[in-house]
Amino acid sequence: MKVSEKDVTYVADLANLELTPEERARMLRDLNSILEYVDRLSELDTADVPPMAQVSGSYDAAEKKGEATFEYAMRADELGPSLDRQVALANAPESDGKFFKVPKVIER
Amino acid sequence: MDLNSLTVASTLSAIRERQTTATALTEDFYRKIAAEDAEIHSFLALSKERAAAAAAKADALADKGDPLPPLAGVPLAIKDVMVTRGVRTTAGSKILENYIPPYDCTAVARLEAAGAVVLGKTNCDEFAMGSSTENSAYGPVRNPREKTRVPGGSSGGSAAAVAAGFAVAALGSDTGGSIRQPASFCGVVGLTPTYGRVSRYGLIAFASSLDHIGPLAHTVKDAALLLGIIAGRDPLDSTSADVPVPDYAAEIEKPVRGMKIGVPKEYFPDGMDSEVRKAVEDAIQLLAAKASCEIVPISLAHTAYAIPTYYIVATAEASANLARYDGVRYGHRSPASATLSEMYRRSRDEGFGAEVKRRIMLGTYALSAGYYDAYYLKAQMVRTLLTRDFEQAFAQVDAIITPTSPTPAFRLGEKVNDPLSMYLADIFTVTADLVGVPGISIPCGQSREGLPIGMQIMARHFDEAAIFRLGHAYEHARAA
């Protein structure tokens, strides 16, 4: 078993998920089954292969224009229209009309 | 008026020639949905006021004899992962059960600016995670062609809506195959454009380097028309490409004689479903015989590593994108949580379904300290290897044709207890998403049981024109 129950607890903490005991057991089984399949990636020799996080980097459109990569994605640092406060609060589970309300963040 | 056979062009001419009005047509579609969608369950919400307003606008222009915008009065359905201002948007999840977005997805806004009538939001796998629409928190969709079968996923609602004649066309989203696979299962056309061709602004994010918006329609021409409207640089999406949008409608009629079609052996493995193999091979032969294309056997050597790569990259990105669902600003908040931490954890556990939780856990694990190099970084390197496979292939050929899916539509419930088996359904579609190339699924036959079979055509980045030309030529050759 690659993934242990401790791992499931640790990862669930990181992911902010409160799993029930049944969910934990199922997760242990599913994660192990999937990771066992995914492990075949280690068959490949990637010693000199650069990682690819984003395909757009391989588009040469920007180079053709003589610009730096993703130059077109930048804009001037200027203020523009934004969401009206009431609109932004409209989906709030709890609000005082000015802010989103949540349980106490800092214990005194 | 046979709603099942309407295309964009025939809808426009029917309205222009006053055979019907946009308002009457919209009402016809809502009547059909009311009569038949209870069984199919393709829609989650109907936007009747918005649709009526758009139809009235189209009719006002038609009444005056003014030129009509390119999609005037054309009824469309939108997958519920794209936000629509004022219209409930759920992403197929309970965590957004009551979410009313304050803004519109760019792709939807562009369709409406072109005169389209948005009928409603379609059902989908939760957060677009799935290959059958069985992961929807609101109940599954039935394949209109065979109601004991899945429509595919995650854009199952959109594919079913088009197949059932509930909309002339639809928008779906594709991260690992979620437009193309349901299109092939339901017997409609589904296009996943090049990554960055269409803005993702307003698409509820699953995996940001893999997500795409694309059209589902009855014909290749309609898919091309819709792409022409939604494609193009959007300042609101920094990953939307600064590449000009061709006139796809003009491109589609250009000849395909002499185009080189690559057939990769890895997509026709021994033991594959013989009916799928035959349908796709026959389609390729038809293009060779009737459209004078040249068939070139090729190899995409790292194909077998695409699914493991995808399930690391996509889940890792998803774990980050779904961190925002914390019960603070929108979405489900667990009642009576004493602490902030409890609120986060319980809201998420209560609001997310099993598949979503599974993928968040997998992605979080792959990114966690000690595992990042072995999983996420490794997967990113394999992504480069897959990209090189395609670059080498496109040095020899203009397009690549494969089956869209290893099988036709499977039965409802058949794969729900075996996540890995469900993941393997994406085996022919995930490569395009990982590499960013465009791909279309076009109906090319059916199984003995009458289940649709789709063929996939892929092309170079931003060469959707080649896909449309070949697809259109195939439709013509088949009809001849």
Distance from CA of B28 to the nearest CA of A (A): 33
Q: In degrees, to the nearest 5, what angle opens at C-alpha B268 toward C-alphas B262 and B273?
A: 140
Which spans in A15-66 are helix H? 21-38, 61-65
Q: Do A56 and B436 touch (CB under 8 A)?
A: yes
Give chain B's domains with CATH numbers.
3-251 (3.90.1300.10)
Q: Is the pLDDT of residue B331 over 70?
A: yes
Give how far A50 is from chain B: nearest CA, Å. Answer: 6
- Spot the catalytic one: B154, B158, B199, B347: B154
What span, in angstroms and rounded, lies between the C-alpha atoms of B361 and A31?
Answer: 8
* A2 and A32 Cβ atoms separated by less than 8 Å: yes
Q: Which two tokens stand for residue B91?
A: 């992403």
Measure the CA–CA gap between A65 and B265, rounded to whole angstroms.
37
Which secondary-structure segment (H or E) carries B331? none
Name the least confident of A34-48, B212-226, B275-289, B455-469: A34-48
A37-41, B118-122, B212-216, B293-297: the lowest-pLDDT one: A37-41
Interface of A with B in 52-91 (CB under 8 A): 52-56, 58-59, 61-62, 70, 72-73, 75, 83, 87-88, 90-91
Flag whether pLDDT at A60 surpasses 90: no
Write out the two tokens for B312: 């690391």
Task: Output the DSSP codes for B14-52.
Answer: HHHTTSS-HHHHHHHHHHHHHHHHHHH--EEEE-HHHHH
Cβ within 8 Å, pair B365-A11: yes
B67 backbone φψ class: left, alpha, beta (φ>0; ψ -120 to 50): beta
B461 reaches A (C-beta below 8 A): yes
Asked whether the ipTM of the predicted complex exceeds the cut of 0.85, the reply is yes
Q: What are phi and psi of B411, to 5 degrees?
A: -80, 150
Choose the mutation target among A33, A70, A102, A108 for the interface with B, i.e. most B CBs under 10 Å. A102
Contact of B404 with B159, CB cutoff 8 Å: no
Q: Is the pTM of this model over 0.90?
A: yes
Restricting to A residues 1-60, those with a Cβ less than 8 Å away from any Cβ of B are: 3, 7-8, 10-12, 14-20, 23, 26-27, 30-31, 33-35, 37-44, 46, 49-56, 58-59
Per-residue pLDDT, B281:
98
Q: Residues of A with CB below 8 A from B380's CB? A: 51-53
User: In the beta sheet, which residues pair with residue A45?
Assistant: none
The radius of gyration of chain A from alpha carbons, rounded to an integer in Å, stands at 24
All residues at 6 or more sequence positions from B81 whose CB lies less than 8 Å from its CB, including other chains:
B89, B91, B92, B124, B127, B128, B154, B173, B203, B204, B206
B212 in helix, strand or coil?
Answer: strand
Task: State CA B375 to chain mean position distance.
Answer: 27
The pLDDT of residue B117 is above 80: yes
Residue with tokens 């602004």: B201
Mean pLDDT of chain B: 96
Identity of the amino acid at B198: V
pLDDT at B135 over 50: yes
Query: Does residue B237 have a pLDDT over 90?
Result: yes
Contact B308 A40 (CB under 8 A): yes
Question: Could you tell me if B333 and B346 are in contact, meaning their C-beta atoms sit under 8 angstroms apart?
Answer: no
pLDDT tens readout for residues B373-424:
999 999 999 999 999 999 999 999 999 999 999 999 999 999 988 888 888 8
Does the pLDDT value for residue A62 go beyond 50? no
Q: Confirm whether B147 is a catalytic residue.
A: no
Whole-angstrom distance, CA of residue B383 vs CA of residue B309:
7
Residue B480: the pLDDT is 82
CA gap B422, B417 in Å, rounded: 9
Per-residue confidence band for B224, with pLDDT thresholds at 50, 70 and 90: very high
- Does the annotation mark B447 as catalytic? no
Mean pLDDT value across residues B315-334: 97
Mean pLDDT of all residues in B339-345: 94
Q: How many residues does chain B have?
A: 480
Residue A63 has pLDDT above 60, yes or no: no
Contact call for residues B131 and B425 (beta carbons, < 8 A)? yes
Catalytic pick from B158, B173, B178, B405? B178
